[in-house]
Amino acid sequence: MSLSELTRLSARDAVAMLRRREVSSLELVDAAAERIAEVDPVVNAVPTLCLDMAREAAGALVAPNDPGPGWLAGLPILVKDLTDVAGVRTTYGSPIFANHVPERDDVMVSRLKRNGAIVLGKSNTPEFGAGANTFNEVFGKTRNPWNVDMTCGGSSGGAAVALATGMTWLATGSDLGGSLRTPASFCSVVGLRPTPGRVPQGPTSDPFQTLSMNGPMGRNVADLALMLDAEVGVEPSFPLSLPEPGISFESAALSPKLPGRIGFSPDLGIGPVEREVAEICSAATTKLADAGASVDESCPDFSGAMDVFQTLRAALFVTSRSSLLQNHRDALKPEMIWNIEKGMKLTAAAIGRAHVERGKLTRRVASWFENYDILACPVAIVPPFDVDTRYVERVGDHEFDNYVDWLYIVAAITLTGCPAISVPCGFTADGLPVGLQLVGRPRGEAALLSVAAAAEDVFGLDGLVPMDPRCKNNSV
């Protein structure tokens, strides 16, 4: 099998070949390196490589006698540039850390390595992951492979592009306000924001926060589930971490089953959405209904969700980034400054109200899930937009006054603590991808992955990636 053919393998197929010794980890590293050299100059998704380190790790890998779920057997992966990898340049997308090289791995990276992952390098991200367009002052902008004039979304944009173009088989992401769901939608790949605590992370200054979480990204649901198995488990330094499940997530994804009742909303009742996106997602749920699911137009009451999210997000920025404003203000992008300053102006009463309102929302969502199995809605309210547009400022007659509010349809789901996955469901008339967001019950990743796999079968779009980058006229 040629190197180019190896890059087109699914992650599960590549791991199966590794386990049978039909291919070596070194060959996969070489295949990925060749594909990155071919494609990345066009899309700029993988700015940092550690190929010598990857080859050394591949050559030294020793398989356990009885590999458990999530054993990746030497599969090369990419790690988002927000996440520390020991000995590898990790910039967080910021000129402040342009030459930063961590001395230790993030705990998620440690788990992945113990489960046989080989780190190829780092995927591009906006500065400190702030914003849903992947650009920064260190590495520049990452382009959408479906049309290189468009954004890939963010903040896990480099990861999504690398998956869509065959530069990696699996990639890590993280998600505060849709940071892995939005780029998955924009690039026609799959991204899961798990229940808080499902995937360990850190060490962090705020280990009890439940807004920003790590999660897996893949080209299809079963690949993603394999990576989730490699990431999960209890870590003492992350007190929210959950034990490994009794059944592997990969097994759940390989048992696709449509749910009994799906509630669908094009806008969660709280914001605008472009008509074409709403129509594509509605048509996708009609396909699910035709396949046997019961679909109603229904969703929990999300009123006030964005005020709550903006308050808690701003408070989190103060906790994690206020020292940067004090010491490096001139090096921060305007959106970062705005968000930190917003947090510094908050009163204790405002933060307390936000927590109380989040609690009320959580109870409303739990009550809604007594009658429904899955909530479905768009992942993004617009399709991919011009790569030089920093964020969406207007949809129809509605104008957004900041860089976060247009992400309401993913941010509101973040508040619920429910796992949510982006599954490709269609394309616009201009050939740009649209994803359907499927939301399950808290800690219900297994059931959600089973549903997502069934939806993936119904939509039939997972075979479109990996692909070569395209201009508007479908060529580069």
List 10, 25, 80, 123, catalytic entry: 80
Element (H, E) at 250: helix 249-253
Q: Is 122 a catalytic residue?
A: no
List 10, 25, 123, 179, catalytic entry: 179
* Pairing of the two strands 171-175 and 213-218: antiparallel
- In angstroms, rounded to a whole number, what is the distance separating the alpha carbons of residues 276 and 409? 16
- In angstroms, rounded to a whole number, what is the distance separating the alpha carbons of residues 214 and 172? 7
- In angstroms, rounded to a whole number, what is the distance separating the alpha carbons of residues 9 and 15? 9
Q: Which tokens is 47 given?
A: 């700015």
Q: Is 155 a catalytic residue?
A: yes
Beta bridge partners of 461: none
Q: Is 179 a catalytic residue?
A: yes
Instruction: For residue 172, give the nearest of 152, 186, 192, 153 by alpha carbon.
Output: 192
- In angstroms, rounded to a whole number, what is the distance separating the alpha carbons of residues 201 and 80? 13
Q: Is 424 helix (H, G, I), strand (E, B) or coil?
A: strand
Q: How many CB atoms lie within 10 A of CB 260?
A: 11
Supply the DSSP string of 425-470, one letter for each residue: EEE-TTS-EEEEEEE--TT-HHHHHHHHHHHHHHH--GGG-S----
What does each C-alpha distance from 453 to 31, 258, 374, 443 come to in angstroms?
Answer: 28, 9, 13, 17
- In angstroms, rounded to a whole number, what is the distance separating the alpha carbons of residues 309 and 407? 11
Angle between helices 221-231 and 445-459 (to 10 degrees): 160
Q: Is 76 helix (H, G, I), strand (E, B) or coil?
A: strand
Q: Which tokens is 468 given?
A: 């070569």
List 10, 25, 94, 155, catalytic entry: 155
- In angstroms, rounded to a whole number, what is the distance separating the alpha carbons of residues 241 and 239? 5
- DSSP category for residue 410: H
Q: How many CB atoms lie within 10 A of CB 33?
A: 19
Element (H, E) at 376: strand 374-378
Q: Which tokens is 421 given?
A: 């996955």
First to last CA, the chain: 26
Catalytic (active-site) positions: 80, 155, 179
